[in-house]
Structure 1
Amino acid sequence: MPKSLPELADEYRRELLDQVVPFWEQYSLDRVHGGYFTCLRPDGRVFDTDKFVWLQARQVWTFATLHRRVDAGRGWLEVARHGADFLERYGRAPMGGWYFSLTQAGEPLVVPYNIFSDCFAAQAFGQLYQATGEERYGTLARETFTAILARRDTPKGQWSKAIAGTRPLKNFALPMILCNLALEIESLLEPEMVQRLTDECLREVMTVFLDEETGLLLEDVHPDGSRSDSFEGRLLNPGHAIEAMWFVMDLAERRRDTELLHRAKDLTLRTLEYSWDTEHGGVFYFLDRLGQPPQQLEWDQKLWWVHLETLIALLKGYHHTGDARCLEWFHRVHDYTWKHFRDSEQGGEWYGYLNRRGEVLLDLKGGKWKGCYHVPRALVQCWWELDELGGRR
């Protein structure tokens, strides 16, 4: 029999406060050079010392958020400052963009080709500004956000590998993130800009990238919104689609737009039904909209962030619409996620990568792409949603 909502809320809260956050506090802080180690084995040992700017920024955001919204008395603000100081000193290139990666001591390794370093830097310093009121953090967030908007039509700029004009494509990830980022740093922006930007992002996410034939969200379309019959143009990324839907639900709640809430909930369920592995359980990483073989060899892996974002979206969908299918799916995804990704032996942070059968593929707790972000964010979000659904918030 499934646990009650209050019991589940307590489970998520304990996992956050007693296991996951202490793991990163104990093992990730570089006390010599500053910043955070993210390449960590199950027992917390560091296996690589390179520092990836978007993961540094994500961890700053996580601890600043925990300080602001969970408990201001646990020293989490100092953990956030620890990473922010390192980013301020070393993370930004002379031309203003944020590097992709640095050495342990802060020397640049990879140029600022990836606009998501900038997105998460803006998010981190915006959250830190709200936590401290210190203007330098607000200035950094605002300047970075302005630069993102200037680059959004050509996010990789001179570092793009594609030949210009042959097969121009725009990607789903940036409007998806901007939906959330604009609200994260809203206090630093003009209200008209926030309204205009969120309107544009909602149109892109819910209309331009929506494939009417399948009712699913595509990862890439032509700049005019037309479909591309190519690997990229047929690509589905269920995790991106579902994560975007809870961003949209937050916007819809803010706007009191009941129709939009139901559309986002329905898209969540449709994506989940299409991408669930009926043989082994779990959500596939990549799929092709026409059922063709995807180009990604890792298409059938099961990833931590995909399942965690799904849990958030399902709870928000149930909370805002009362659709019982959301709660039924939540229990199913919860059981799979906690059984396979959570480290029941050593505790701490969760595993990130499983094979199709649900077996741990890489026994790391953090690496180049996985840091202190999706697990704690999802635990917080689910804890709060479950508390509210159970009548305790």
Structure 2
Amino acid sequence: MNYSKLYKDTLLNDIVPFWEKNSIDHKHGGYYTCLDRTGNVYDTDKFMWLQGRQSWTFAMLYNKVDDNDKWLKIAKHGVDFILKYGMDENNDFYFSTTHDGKPLIQPYNIFSDCFAAMAFSQYSKASGEFNIRELAKNTYNKILKKKDNPKGVYEKSTGERPLIGFALPMILSNLVLELEDVIDEEEVNLTLDECIQQVMDVFLDKESGLIYENVRPNGTHEDSYSGRLLNPGHGIEAMWFMIDIGVKRKDNALIKKATDTILKILEHSWDPIYGGIFYFMDAQEKPPLELAWDQKLWWVHLETLVALAKAYECTGRQELMDWYEIVHNYSWSHFSDPINGEWYGYLNRRGEVLIDLKGGKWKGCFHVPRAMFQCWKSFGKIESLEL
């Protein structure tokens, strides 16, 4: 099968047009992300992390696919909204606003900062706007200052059970590569060193080969719900970030370790009865407290497709392609909507569509187009070698 053509055509003829047509707020700026099955807007609140993600997506497409002025204008649409409405007086990013930019939820979530920085970096590369480039750099520096206490005054825990979370070192390992043209090379390498150490030595459990979502600061495990929590999608997504770093550094040992981890997580988290990857799991197989634990989510499967494609591109291991075909067949037959466009986000354990939205508070214009782009490019290289 010509996977590269499938992913390219789907990206350019399905996914991108869906968001171009349905999400842009031409009156107030920014993007609507709450879109139903057919693309109609069902809620007008705007979430800053999704504004940043969509702006990044269109700037990335402009930079890496085609310097289409329409895409650059769409990217600017999001950047302008974030600049005008998305920040408080301290330049911290609100979590959400009304459709016309009135703040709704305070800046408690550092991921709004992360995706704003990514958007600013890609957009400045596309537009050449120096002030946006500097804003990307300043936002990144603020993220580093916040990383030991990401929520600041909005942190709810008392500190009695000190656990550190996987999400931030995971995203930093990708963010720093996104910003490597903006920040100093020394800073890039220092951050990458720290991310590799955190992801591969602290959160990756040497005994099981699985990534834990929360660990004690010294990397040991807490026997509690939070301490036993596994998020297979996070672990697998982080591994393709590690592979990207390994490629950049020509570090074959890191690529192999990341590849082995992808396979271990996938084997552990694949539903043996209905297929698909579980959303959450308990490391000791105790009852999970996450009520959505057995749902099958779009981003988990898309990130797995990217990880398997990159790992196979780098190693050529047949077991990766065997798994790729399993995950590909499940994902395309369950999430893709060939009638209305885009992908569903949420399935029940049996693989039936649970909520038929195409976008919401958590699903926006990011995982689907990014995965389509990444798989297109990986399989383009793989297929060229097979000719």
Query: Which deviations, in whole Å up to 9, do the C-alpha atoms of 1:258-316 show, x marking residues without a partner?
Result: 11111000000000000000100000000011111111000000000000000000011
Q: Which string of whole-angstrom CA distances, capped at 9 and with x for unpartnered residues, describes residues 166-212 of structure 1?
A: 10111001001000101101111111111111000000000001122
Residue aligning to 1:87: 82
- Aligned equivalent of 1:260: 254
RMSD: 1.0
Q: Which residue of 2 aligns with 1:336?
A: 330
For residue 261 of structure 2, give the secondary structure of its aligned residue in structure 1.
helix
Partner amino acid for 1:308?
A: L
The letter of the residue matching 2:295 is Q
Measured in 2, the distance between the counterparts of 1:306 and 1:386 equals 20
Aligned to 1:106: 101
AA of the residue aligned to 2:140: F
What secondary structure is seen at the aligned counterpart in 2 of 1:366? coil
CA distance in 2, matches of 1:213, 1:161: 32
1:60 aligns with 2:50: no
Aligned twin of 1:327: 321
Percent identity between the aligned chains?
A: 54
Aligned residue number for residue 379 of structure 2: 386
Paired with 1:252 and 1:154, the residues of 2 have a C-alpha distance of 28
Task: Tell me the SS of whatever aligns to 2:49.
Answer: helix
CA-CA distance at 1:74 after TM superposition: 5.5
Residue 255 (structure 2) pairs with residue 244 (structure 1) = no
Q: How does 1:348-359 map to 2 (within 5 A)?
A: 348-359=341-352
Q: TM-score, normalised by structure 2?
A: 0.98
The 2-side partners of 1:178 and 1:73 are apart by 29
For residue 154 of structure 1, what is the amino acid of its counterpart? N
| Deviation of 1:139 (Å) | 1.5
**Cα distance, 1:234 vs structure 2:** 0.4
Deviations 1:231-264 (A, max 9, x none): 1110000000000000000000111111111100
Corresponding position: 1:192 with 2:199:
no
Query: 1:149-228, aligned counterparts within 5 Å?
Result: 149-164=144-159, 166-228=160-222
* Secondary structure class of the residue paired with 1:267: helix
Of residues 349, 364, 368, the one that matches 2:361 is: 368
Q: Which moved more, 1:54-63 or 1:134-143?
A: 134-143
Question: Within 2, Cα distance between the matches of 1:212 and 1:202?
Answer: 14
197-206 or 222-231, which deviates more: 222-231
> Could you tell me which residue of structure 1 aligns to residue 281 of structure 2?
287
1:96 alignment partner, SS class: coil
Q: 1:349: how far off? A: 1.4
State the Cα distance separating 1:344 from its structure 2 match. 2.3
CA distance in 1, matches of 2:189, 2:164: 22
Q: Is 1:304 the counterpart of 2:298 in the alignment? A: yes
- Measured against aligned partners, the alpha-carbon deviations of 1:54-84 in whole angstroms (never above 9, x if no partner) come to 0000000000000010111361000100111
Q: Which region of structure 1 is more displaced relative to structure 2, 97-106 or 72-81?
A: 72-81
Which residue matches 1:78?
Answer: 73
In 1, Cα distance between the equivalents of 2:81 and 2:337?
Answer: 30
Which residue is 2:40 aligned to?
45
1:372 maps to a residue whose letter is C
Instruction: Note the 1:134-149 alignment, pairs <5 A.
Output: 134-149=129-144
Cα deviation code 1:129-168 (max 9, x no counterpart) = 111111111111111111100010011111011012x101
1-side partners of 2:12 and 2:87: how far apart? 32
Superimposed CA distance per residue, residues 94-147 of structure 1 (whole angstroms, 9 cap, x where no aligned partner):
112101000000010000000000000001101111111111111111111111
**Is 1:33 aligned to residue 28 of structure 2?**
yes
Deviation at 1:223?
Answer: 1.6
Q: 1:389 to 1:214 in 2, by over 3 A?
A: same
Amino acid across the alignment from 2:87: R
| One-letter amino acid of the counterpart of residue 115, structure 1 | I
Distance 2:218 2:345 in 1: 36
| Whole-angstrom CA distance in 1 between matches of 2:69 and 2:95 | 30
AA aligned to 1:369 is: W
Cα 1:333–1:74, aligned 2, differ >3 Å: closer, same or farther? farther
Secondary structure, aligned partner of 2:181: helix
Q: TM-score, normalised by structure 1?
A: 0.97
Q: Name structure 2 gaps, 5 residues minimum.
A: none
Equivalent position SS for 2:104: strand
Amino acid in the other structure paired with 1:98: F
Q: Distance in 2 between matches of 1:253 and 1:101?
A: 36
* Unaligned stretches of 5+ residues in structure 1: none
1:214 and 1:289 in contact (8 A); partners too: no
